[in-house]
């Protein structure tokens, strides 16, 4: 499993490597904002320093950089 936290400590993303599910949470109220399942195995997640984007690396040589606002409910 992997954990990514925004530099300002407001949001975190948790990866369940067994199920390839990425969940994004608000820290202050422990509220899950969104959860996504991927077909490919995820090997790494992290937020950029601004906390506006999350990097998702897959086992295949694919990397996605996604604006965090686009994946929030």
Query: Residue 49: what pLDDT?
Result: 87
Given the DSSP bridges, would you call strands 31-37 and 42-47 parallel, antiparallel or unpaired?
A: unpaired
What six digits make up the tokens of 55?
A: 């990097």
Query: Residue 54: what pLDDT?
Result: 87
Which residues, at least 6 apart from 9, have a Cβ–Cβ distance to it below 8 Å? Answer: 27
Query: Residue 72: what pLDDT?
Result: 65
Query: Residue 20: what pLDDT?
Result: 84
- What confidence tens digit (pLDDT) does each residue in 16-73 have? 877 888 888 888 888 888 888 888 888 888 888 888 888 888 888 889 888 887 766 5
Nearest Cα to Cα of residue 20 among 58, 54, 50, 48: 58
The 10 Å Cβ neighbour count of residue 72 is 11
């Amino acid at each position: 499993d992997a954990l990514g936290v925004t530099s300002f400590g407001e949001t975190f993303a948790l990866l369940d490597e067994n199920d390839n599910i990425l969940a994004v949470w608000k820290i202050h109220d422990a509220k899950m904002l969104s959860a996504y399942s991927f077909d490919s195995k995820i090997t790494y997640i992290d937020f950029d320093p601004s906390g506006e984007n999350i990097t998702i690396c897959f086992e295949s040589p694919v990397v996605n950089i996604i604006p965090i606002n686009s994946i929030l409910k």
